[in-house]
Amino acid sequence: MKTTVVEQYFNKIVQHLEILKNEEYENILKAAEMLKEQIKQDKLIYAYGPGGHSNLGSQEIFFRAGGLMHVSAILDEGTLLSNGALRSMAIERTPGYGKIVIEDYNLQKDDLLILINAYGINSALIDAALEAKRRGAKIIAVTSVEHASNTPPDHPARHPSKKNLFELADLVLDSKVVVGDAVVEIEGLNQRVAAMSTFANAFLLNSLVAETVKALVEEGIVPPIWMSGNETGGDEANEKLYDRFIGRIKKL
């Protein structure tokens, strides 16, 4: 029987996540140690995904059922698709923009920033990384080394420095997204369809959160975790912890 497009996509996703599980596990554990130490000090963990769909990564672990309350998503309006897709792309390619965003969130020495971007080359992203490093913050990158490495230096999306995110981070969770992101081939069509990056980012980020919680619990620390407001008792459980984070997390 001929494989359907749905089956092809499903198989590609499963195969990709299997590779991430096996090849990125040690780095996930190292990243979890970094998050654990921040939470032990009651410090926020910043997550920023500058770029259209990369913003989904920062939203994936923010204010999310089963997620850490210490996560503060940097949801800057500039690159959100809700303000216009072409506008978003233009802003993510604007040198200096990412620096302004990091300044606005006032990251400090020894803060921790998770930067999420499959391609890892855009100006807003690289400027955010450079400014965070200048301020002494630590960076975990969730990005594709392959995609960045195979993007020409003169690509119009690149930062003027031609730097890649994976070169600037303290630790990299390699999403291994292929150039172009889409993975499904349709007979009679040259362009592949159906992107992989959202699945890869979500798997790496939620795995990181889970391993962080596990590491904290093993040390006798029960971190504050969001319950779904649609779950019975969820609102009441969350409200007990609001005072610890309202006023600290900009987008809460």
Kindly report, residue by residue over 205-248, the tens digit of the pLDDT.
999 999 999 999 999 999 999 999 899 999 999 999 898 999 99
**Structural domains in the chain (count):** 1
Query: Around Cβ 188, how many Cβ atoms within 10 Å?
Result: 4
Residue 139 lies in a domain: yes
Can you tell me the distance from the alpha carbon of 11 to that of 17, in angstroms, rounded to the nearest whole number?
Answer: 10
pLDDT in tens, 102-112: 999 999 999 99
Residue 220 lies in a domain: yes
Residue 215 lies in a domain: yes
Angle between helix 123-134 and helix 97-105 axes, rounded to 10 deg: 40
Can you tell me the distance from the alpha carbon of 206 to that of 169, in angstroms, rounded to the nearest whole number?
Answer: 19
pLDDT band at 91 (very low <50, low <70, confident <90, very high): very high
Tell me what percent of the residues of the chain surpass a pLDDT of 90: 90
Say if residue 54's pLDDT is above 80: yes
**Residue 52: per-residue pLDDT:** 82
Tokens representing 60? 């994936």
pLDDT in tens, 128-161: 999 999 999 999 999 999 999 999 999 998 999 9
Contacts of 14 (CB under 8 A, 6+ apart): none
In angstroms and rounded to an integer, the radius of gyration of the C-alpha atoms of the chain is 18
N- to C-terminal Cα separation, the chain: 50
Short-list 76, 66, 170, CA closest to 114: 170
Residue 22 lies in a domain: yes
**Residue 77: per-residue pLDDT:** 87
Residue 250 lies in a domain: no
Coil/strand/helix, residue 67? coil
The arithmetic mean of pLDDT across residues 76-98, rounded, is 91
Can you tell me the distance from the alpha carbon of 62 to that of 100, in angstroms, rounded to the nearest whole number?
Answer: 22
- Domain range for residue 69? 5-244
- Average pLDDT over all residues of the chain: 95
Contacts of 212 (CB under 8 A, 6+ apart): 32, 35, 36, 39, 68, 223
Longest dimension (CA), the chain: 58
CATH of residue 138 = 3.40.50.10490
Where are the strands (E) in 49-181, listed by range?
71-74, 112-116, 138-143, 171-174
Count H helices and E strands in the chain, helices first: 10, 7
The arithmetic mean of pLDDT across residues 28-40, rounded, is 98
The runs of H, that is alpha helices, within 106-196 are 123-134, 145-149, 165-168
Say if residue 2's pLDDT is above 90: no
Coil/strand/helix, residue 149? helix
Coil/strand/helix, residue 227? coil
The arithmetic mean of pLDDT across residues 7-17, rounded, is 97
Residue 252 lies in a domain: no
Which residue(s) pair with 45 in the sheet?
71, 112
Which residue(s) pair with 112 in the sheet?
45, 138
Tell me what percent of the residues of the chain surpass a pLDDT of 70: 100
Say if residue 123's pLDDT is above 90: yes
Instruction: Read off the pTM.
Output: 0.95
The arithmetic mean of pLDDT across residues 180-189, rounded, is 93
